[in-house]
Amino acid sequence: MKPAMIDVGIIGASGYTGAELARILSNHPQARLRVATSRQHAGRPLADIFPQLRGRVEVVCEEVAGEELFARADLFFAAVPHKTAMELVPGILAAGKKVIDLSADFRLRDVAVYEEWYQPHSCPELLAEAVYGLPELYRRQIAGARLVANPGCYPTSVILALAPLLGAEAVLADTIIIDAKSGTSGAGRAAQTATLFCEVHDGFRPYKVGRSHRHTPEIEQELAVLAGRSLQVSFTPHLLPLSRGILSTIYATLAPGFDRETISALYRQQYQQEPFVRLLTGGNLPATQYVRGSNFCDIAFAIDSATGRIIVMSAIDNIVKGASGQAVQNMNLLCGFAETTGLDGLPLFP
C-alpha cells in the first residue's frame, strides 16, 4: 500500500488519545480524517467536544455502525478501551482495512498471559498476526502488517530505555527496577473522583504497587525478547500532577566489563539514526517538559560505580510517543509514508 493520500477513521474519538490523533492528523499531508466514532457523542462535531480543534477539524462523531462505516476509510485507529477493541477489530479487518489498535488487546502474544491480566480473549487467533508497534524495534514487521498493536505508554518509555542494554547483556536481567511516573492524561477522560483536579493537583502518589499494574506483563514480554530469556521486573507507577509526560527511572546492576564508554556506544549504535530518540549526554537529563507535545523519547543514563548500578532515565509525552504519535508513526510505516510525516513538531516549552 503506497498511496499518496489515505482516508482514516478514529474509533473512539472522544477520549484524549482520540483528540490527539485528530490534532496530529490535521497537520498530516497524506491522511484525511474521514470518520470519528463516539457512542456518547454521536451526532456532535468532534470540535464541539474538544474546542481546541475548532476551525480545523470538521468531522462529526457517529456511532460505530459496522460495514458501511468501515468502507469509508482505508485505515482505522482503535482508541477504545481494551475488550471493546477486540470486539471491533475483526470486523474492520474483515472489511479489508488496516487497524492500529491503541488498546492492550493485541499486545500480549501469549493468550494465557492476556487472560490472566485482563479477561477472556475473543479473537486469540489474531494475536499471532498482530505486530507490536514499536517502530524502533519492529519497523520492518510493521510495514507489512494488517494489525498493529500500539504499545502502552509506560512500556514505550521502558523498552526504549532498556533495549540497548538487554540486547548486549550489559545488565543483569533480574535486577531491573522501574520507577515510573506518569501525567494524569494516562487515566483518561472518564469522570471519576480519583482524577478530579483537586485530588491530583499539588500532590504525588504511587499506585498499583507490587506487580499489579497491567503494563507489567507487556514490559516483561518485550524485555524478554530483547534479553533472549524470561525475566521479571519490579515496576512501580506514580501519578504526577501534570497532564502529559512519563518519566521512567530504571535501575539495574551492570554486567562485568561494561562501563560508561561501552554503554554509550551501545546507545549510539542503536539510536543514532532514530528520528524520535534523542540521546542526552554531558550530564543533561530527560525531563517531561522538554518532550511535551512531541513524538520524542529522550534518554540518558548515569553509572553509580559505588554500587555497580546503571540508572537509565527516559521521558516521553504519554499521549504522543506513548499513544497517538506512535500510532501515526506506525500508520506512516504501514502506508509507506516517510516515517516522520506529520510528527516533526517540536516540544512545547514552557
Site for a copy of itself in 213-242 (CB under 8 A): 232-234, 236, 238, 240-242
Q: Please state the closest distance from residue 293 (CB atom) to a copy of itself, in A.
A: 5
Site string for a copy of itself, 122-161 (x = CB under 8 A): ----------------------------------------
The cell for 34 is 474521514
Run of H or E residues at 251: strand 246-253
| Residue of 61, 123, 153, 297 marked active site | 153
The cell for 164 is 540497548
In this chain, which of 58, 67, 129, 344 binds a copy of itself, going by CB under 8 A?
A: 344
All residues at 6 or more sequence positions from 87 whose CB lies less than 8 Å from its CB, including other chains: 122
Cβ neighbours of 270 (radius 10 Å): 20
All residues at 6 or more sequence positions from 204 whose CB lies less than 8 Å from its CB, including other chains: 181, 238, 239, 240, 241
In this chain, which of 128, 197, 256, 261 binds a copy of itself, going by CB under 8 A?
A: 197
C-alpha span between 278 and 326 (Å, rounded): 15
What are the residues facing 310 on neighbouring strands? 252, 303
Site string for a copy of itself, 167-196 (x = CB under 8 A): -------x--x-x-x--xx---xxxxx-xx
Q: Which is nearer to a copy of itself, 20 or 105 (CB)?
A: 20
Q: Which residue type, as a one-letter code, is found at position 287? A: A
Q: Which is nearer to a copy of itself, 269 or 340 (CB)?
A: 340
Cβ neighbours of 198 (radius 10 Å): 8
What are the residues facing 148 on neighbouring strands? 100, 131
Residues 1-60 that bind a copy of itself (CB under 8 A): 16, 19, 23, 26-27, 50-57
Residue span binding a copy of itself (CB under 8 A) among the ranges 71-79, 97-105, 156-164, 245-253: 245-253
Residues 287-306 that bind a copy of itself (CB under 8 A): 287-294, 296, 298, 302-306
In this chain, which of 110, 265, 284, 338 binds a copy of itself, going by CB under 8 A?
A: 284
Q: Which is nearer to a copy of itself, 315 or 334 (CB)?
A: 315
The cell for 184 is 494524569
- Please confirm, yes or no, whether 297 is among the known catalytic residues: no
Cβ neighbours of 155 (radius 10 Å): 27
For 335, the 3-state DSSP assignment is helix
Q: List active site positions.
A: 153
